[in-house]
Amino acid sequence: VTGEEEPKNAVVTAEEFDPDFIQMLRAEQQILEAMCADWEMVDVEGADDSKFAKFNDILKHELFKKDRNPGQKLVVFSESKDTVEYLQRRLNRKDVLVIDSSNRTKLFKTIQENFDANYKKSLRKDDYNIIITTDVLAEGVNLHRSNIIINYDTPWNSTKLMQRIGRVNRIGSVAPNIYNYMFYPSQQGDKEIQLYKNALVKLQGFHSAFGEDAQIYS
């Protein structure tokens, strides 16, 4: 049936579906609810997290070396708000600023004061040395008092990856080099979702069309 107000919108009634469809939906719902119940029983904070352990190790021994990070600032991106909040809890540092869509506008000035190299010098602050954010800050903000970016996950949209790096790779940076760290999916996980392959193919498409540039994914 075609909707009268908007011809492109199809109006479908319940009677038009196969009678078995609702039963299949209910069966899938039971599976998903069981998976969620199992997940609730997992102690995420106390679990052996090799990915966080590696991140924490390079954070302590590498990322804030003066010769590598003259501005003593660090930018960490994740696609997931849950991951951003998890990292904040695990790091448990007072100099960590956490940003997502719920507080971006409210804390925008704080972001500029602590991470924008173009912000007036007399108004700059060092209350925060690490910013952990979702892709809400992948566009429209300068974070180039840092010259190091950590991609704690690989975005499906490779354009987003390049936008992330563009936050620190900007005119006005005092650092001679930009360092881009990538956490790849686990071997087991990538076998299922093939994220590494898909991201690499998309980025190679950019290089083929526009010419080689920085090493984005290596």
Torsion of CA 137, 197, 184, 108, to 10 degrees: 0
Helix, strand counts (H, E) of the chain? 7, 5
Burial grade of 16 (CB within 10 A; 0-12, 13-18, 19 or more): exposed
> What pLDDT was estimated at residue 42?
73
In 3D, which of 109, 204, 98, 103 has the Cα closest to residue 161? 204
Host H or E run for residue 98:
strand 96-99
> What pLDDT was estimated at residue 171?
87
Mean pLDDT, contiguous 10-residue spans, the chain (218 residues): 61 85 92 91 72 93 94 95 94 95 95 96 96 94 95 78 88 89 69 56 54 53
> What pLDDT was estimated at residue 153?
84
